[in-house]
Amino acid sequence: IPLRDVVHARVRASVVDLWLGKGDSKKLQKVVLELFTPTAAGELVEWLPNATPWPEAVVASPGASSKAASGNGMWIAIASVAVVLVTVLIVALWPRVR
């Protein structure tokens, strides 16, 4: 990644979000890096020469959050495991009920 192309940077614990832009292009590409420690993430962002903080107004917009999508996935996984367990119990106990 050319350092001159890093336009914005944001640190969230040990996760670093980088937005890359090429030349005068308005379109930005987001790259997410997960480092071992929050300290390493902070040092990486401080070391980037041209990076400015990501505007908080854009981050706070309703479409920018993916927390709801990950929460739905968790409930789907829990429901799937419950269905499998109930099916196994029915199959295992069916001959004993008759």
Going by the DSSP 8-state scheme, the letter that residue 36 receives in this structure is S
**Separation CA 2–CA 66 (nearest Å):** 28
pLDDT in tens, 40-88: 988 888 888 888 888 764 555 455 455 555 567 888 889 999 999 999 9
Q: Is the pTM of this model over 0.85?
A: no
User: What's at 52, amino acid-wise?
Assistant: T
Show the tokens assigned to 75: 């409930």
Contact by Cβ (8 Å): 14, 23: no
Residue with tokens 């929050």: 38
Q: Where are the domains of the chain?
A: 1-64, 66-98
Would you state the pLDDT for residue 96?
Answer: 67
Show the tokens assigned to 58: 């854009």
H/E/C letters for each residue in 3-16?
Answer: HHHEEEEEEECCEE
